[in-house]
Homo-oligomer: A and B are copies of this chain.
Amino acid sequence: MLRITALAGGIGGSRFLRGLLRAAPDAQVTVIGNTADDITLHGLHVSPDLDTVMYTLGGGIEESQGWGRTGETFAVASELAEYGAEAQWFTLGDRDLATHLIRTRMLAAGYPLSAVTEALCDRWQPGVRLLPMTDDRVETHVVVASASGSEDDGASERAIHFQEWWVRLHAEVPARRIVLVGADQAKPAPGVLDALASADVIVLPPSNPVVSIGPILAVAGVRDAVRAATAPVVGLSPIIGGSPVRGMADAALQAIGVPTTAAGVAELFADLLDGWLVDTVDADAVPVVEAAGVRCAAVPLWMTDVDAAAAMARAALDLAEEVRAR
């Protein structure tokens, strides 16, 4: 049985994984999920990326937006607003909130996030083994200029939680730096290193390279484990024609000085990658990527539906096979 290990963020990763399960229905898939987007809201531990994977693969996602629960309602959020409770810029749906209640209660009882995630998946049966990247706390913070500060010195900066930058500020305030607080002290969650070492294929889906894939690789030991793995490592570009497929990946790439191009992202992962897929519109990136020693091919990368995602997954697995055969 083919063992596939994928590093996944939220929407893009989840949609790709759904295609992967269709493309390789008999594979044993382990997903290492980003938890650096996690945030405590109204006292509840929210894990947006893990939940997006779980809901998407478990059939509970709101398809129209790619996140949140289908048929969601907002009675609790509306009442919280009546009380004036912050943060009002992040709205928790009622159905979604039940997940966070259970997670928060289990964490308070001493269960690690990995055990909580397993318990939640017991309901959703996502068809993959979903592991948080770590049971420790890692948080993506974004350093932005203070409202008052126009000068370029430390005193005029402040660090805000990634979600505040992403959801509240729509990433419109330029990010000066992105800091993965806690990543260097975090230990990979149980199963993570083993899933990398024993994989037949390691896949980097078209997730945000900076704030989704980046934090997973930043957990102490994970990047080394991916590099040391015997499995071919193949990735799919989240950038098509110089723009992010979704979200505001360009703003995040800009913060770390990486060009918003299919080749730019490949370079970010060059030490890991054996293969890289770019969209057909980026075919001229193929020789650039290959010059860096990474096998590259151009295929359609728009995940317009599950079939399209499955075709992408098939192309990724084919590329892995090709790399392995060389």
Contact = CB atoms under 8 A, between A and B. Distances in A.
Contacts of A80: 98, 101-102
Contacts of A137: none
Given A73-B73, A76-B76, A83 B97 contact: no
Interface string A180-191: 000000000000
B75 A108 contact: no
* Oligomer: number of copies: 2
A28 interface: no
Contacts of A108: 43
A285 to B, nearest CB: 44
A43 B94 contact: no
B123 A94 contact: no
Contact of A85 (B42, B73, B102): B102
A105 B75 contact: no
A76 B94 contact: yes
Given A99-B79, A123-B82, A123-B84, A105 B73 contact: no
A120 interface: yes
B101 A42 contact: yes
Contacts of A75: 73, 75, 94-95
A44 interface: yes
A30 interface: no
Contact of A83 (B44, B76, B123): B123
Closest 6 CB pairs of A and B: A79-B98, A75-B94, A43-B105, A42-B101, A80-B98, A73-B75
Given A44-B101, A83-B120, A94-B94, 13 more contacts: A73-B75, A75-B95, A76-B94, A76-B95, A76-B97, A76-B98, A79-B95, A79-B97, A79-B99, A80-B98, A83-B123, A85-B98, A85-B102
